[in-house]
Chain A
Amino acid sequence: MKIKNIFKLLIPAVSCLLLLSACNKSPKKADTDISGEWTMVSSDGMDMDEVSVYLSFTQTKEFDLYQKLGEGRYRHYSGTYNLTDNILSGTYKDGSKFADSYLITLEADKTVLIMKSQNGAGLESRYEKSTIPSEVKSESLDVKSSISDNKPLL
């Protein structure tokens, strides 16, 4: 067999191998899109009369968190988040890490977001997609603002 013929046989073979090799790697799975505004409707063990939490995620991996635990006005936190393999982690603007990482699941035509803590007792919080009331945003106290000298009470 001439060398030329050998190459003629090798080229398709190598191409097939490369192709097969490429096929062995599963295609990169797109992260769940959690962008939008969410309202917490339940959280394991919590009395929802005492706890009110709103979340906003952007596609540019930034988040805003408005929480009112007990009395007082809403406290506003913000920062960046990361979502890899449906595991949510993040960092507040003050450098604090999220308390935990959370397994994310979307349900009900992506209108329900379930976050399950990964390292604690595995508690779940359930959020529904809805617009954060404008007064929550406007009247919230930014925990990093100059007027919150009294440290976030938390």
Chain B
Amino acid sequence: MKLRKFLYPLLILLFAGCKEGPLHDGENSGMDSGNMALQSKAVNTPDNSIRGSLIVYLDGEIADGSAPAVDSVFSDILLELGEAGMKRVFPYSPKDEERTRKFGLHRWYQVNFSENLDVVSVAEKFASFANVSRIQYNKILVTENVGPVFSYHPSSRTSAASGTASFNDPYLSDQWHYNNIGDKFVAPTARAGADINLKDAWKLSSGDPSVIVAVVDQGVMNTHPDLKDNIWINEAEMNGNSGSDDDGNGYKDDIYGYNFVSDGPVTWDKPGDNGHGTHVAGTVAAVNNNGTGVCGVAGGTGNGDGVRIMSCQIFDGEEGGNSVTSAKAFKYAADNGASILQCSFGYKAGAIQSDNLYKGTFPLELDALNYFISKKNSPVLDGGLVIFAAGNDGTGMSGYPGGYSDIISVTAIASDNLPTYYTNYGPGCNIAAPGGEYYTGGVVTEAGAVLSTVPEGLVMTDDQGNTSSYDSPYAYMQGTSMACPHVSGVAALGLSYAGKLGKTFTLEEFKSMLLTSVNRLDDLMTGTKQTLVGNSLGTMSLAPYKGNMGTGSIDAWRFLMQIEGTPCVMAKIGERQRLDISSYMGGGAADLTYLSVEVSGEAAETLGLQDETDMKYGKLSIHPTKPGSAKIVVRAIAGGTQTGSGDVMGGMEISKEISIIARDMISSNGGWL
């Protein structure tokens, strides 16, 4: 296969410079009142922040409108700043205002002023106002390389293999990340089953158009032939008047989503773009069974029944996103029907090392994320699901926001079922998925990366000024950015299937099921693998990854089985035994850290339980003495050995209700007779 080297960096979209430190270097030792106020009100540092932009949080009285209007209160300072303006971060929307106020989001304001002014000086001026509670510098989003990207060109082998595919999309056979048969063309060490186990899952569900996944990223190419049928459409704007906010959501002409950088329609082909958002979207929901290109995890059957992609654009060409654009995107997704927030970007690993620090330094984004999490946009789920990439720093902890306890952080495995050289791992990481790797097994080939959609013809320029372009609507990329949409896609598949079955779940139940629908990885974390080490091929030790990749690798079939409902586990009365509960806790049950086993008095009485019921070596140790059925609750940690707390990064607590049936005799295969 011909390699097209686009040296332009593959995006792992990062916020830069999140480290804590002095708010700013004081050039003189004396502090005026503004400076002192700023010290107490600033939540982060001005490093790598947007010039000419500042975020302020007003007290409730003024923001609620019961005091003089904001403009009049700050009119003098705005006049002093010259060409300056001040507006709500989240625009007024009649239909969403009540909820917006309930979460206090109406109190966030963005101040824009000349880039020639010193942002700290401006911050001091605003800090001196009593009704300014907090000041947040508007951090810049930057990108980081995880390797080149490669245009896709099918080989003769591709056509030959396509006959065995679930759908008629010709390139599905090259999407090993969905169904890995251990083809050595992908990598010399490719391993059958190192995939998300989609083939059988698709027999149960392949998506539902009522499920909306917000892709917060570069703009998604909504005209892509393999995506356009699964793009979310805002009908009111589609059928409305150009230049007006027809649906009253605060944004004009947001037909397919919104560009929060340029404050306009979604774009994907500006200098600086590389198709990252389009690639991510294709993994979630490229149209299936349309005889064209590739498949998406929840892309439907070719009958308009895939999940829908809402493009929430926070990166636009050379212009990186920032705190304001990302927060706006999160809220927009919540207000316009998305149930899943797919986020392949994040703060650099290590820059933030606790939930408290994240809460303290990026309150605007967290407020918006909490707004999304608490919004019920699906009849299946009582909240919104947020999924972030763990990051590509090769560091022993997740980047944030993925590392935050309420958010799922996704690590990346390669076609050999082993960690990729670039993936973050450790505290804060919750689950793994295929992110692809060009160097698996010590051989360089793009076939080991993730294949998805890109904007054909997009011209890219690398760091050395060399230009190249996609000469195909499909390309390979690698990264936790690519792993993340696999989990988002599987989650969307689960929502689709649950809707079909008429089932409902709490967000905690849904996350617990998702994070336990996995195949075991830890038993493979011994020895070494050949991959990129530094700047050349080499040997990478697997030991550091043991227990650190999350609960295991996501398995779509297992997830849909959990959505259907998990059958009881059978126990034999009259003896103490260890029951395999991997159907509840996942293939990695043996590796999880268990927090507790909760047995009600009624359950203990029903089963006549003797001795302590607890978890040993990943199995449920139980001694029933009476026939009957009862439920017990097992709590565990998804990712790592300790739950994340305010000060310490860690995993997410999950709980599962286990149904037990105790009988006098049980068969080895679980049959009733």
- Interface of A toward B, CB cutoff 8 Å: 40, 44-47, 50-51, 53, 55, 63, 65, 67-73, 75, 77, 90, 92, 94, 96-100, 102, 117, 119-123, 143, 146-147, 149-154
Contact = CB atoms under 8 A, between A and B. Distances in A.
B494 to A, nearest CB: 15
B3 to A, nearest CB: 35
Contacts of B359: none
B669 A92 contact: yes
Contacts of B664: 100, 117, 120-123
Given A69-B659, A69-B672, A97-B667, 12 more contacts: A69-B570, A70-B661, A71-B564, A71-B659, A90-B673, A99-B671, A119-B665, A120-B665, A121-B573, A123-B627, A150-B561, A154-B583
A121 B629 contact: no
A75 B627 CA distance: 21
B671 A50 contact: no
A94 B669 CA distance: 8
A99 B629 CA distance: 18
A75 B667 CA distance: 14
Nearest to A122: B664
A67 B670 CA distance: 10
Given A73-B564, A150-B561, A153-B583, A50 B629 contact: yes
Contacts of B628: 45-47
A67 B245 CA distance: 55
Q: Which of A51, A77, A102, A153 counts the most B-chain CB atoms under 10 A from its CB? A: A153
Contacts, number: 128
A55 B644 CA distance: 49
A119 B665 CA distance: 8
14 contacts: A45-B663, A50-B661, A53-B672, A55-B673, A69-B568, A96-B667, A97-B668, A99-B666, A121-B664, A123-B663, A123-B664, A143-B670, A150-B561, A154-B669
Classify the interface of chain B: helix, strand, loop or mixed. loop
Given A119-B665, A121-B627, A150-B557, A65 B671 contact: yes
Given A46-B627, A96-B671, A99-B665, A70 B564 contact: no
Contacts of B570: 69, 154
A44 B558 CA distance: 32
Interface string B554-598: 010110010011111110011000000001000000000000000
Q: Which of A51, A96, A97, A154 counts the most B-chain CB atoms under 10 A from its CB? A: A154
Interface in B577-628: 583, 626-628
Nearest to A153: B583
A97 B565 CA distance: 27
Contacts of A45: 626-628, 662-663
Interface string B626-639: 11110000000000
B663 A70 contact: no
A58 B569 CA distance: 29
Contacts of B405: none
B566 A99 contact: no
B203 interface: yes
B665 A72 contact: no
Nearest to B607: A45
Contacts of B573: 121
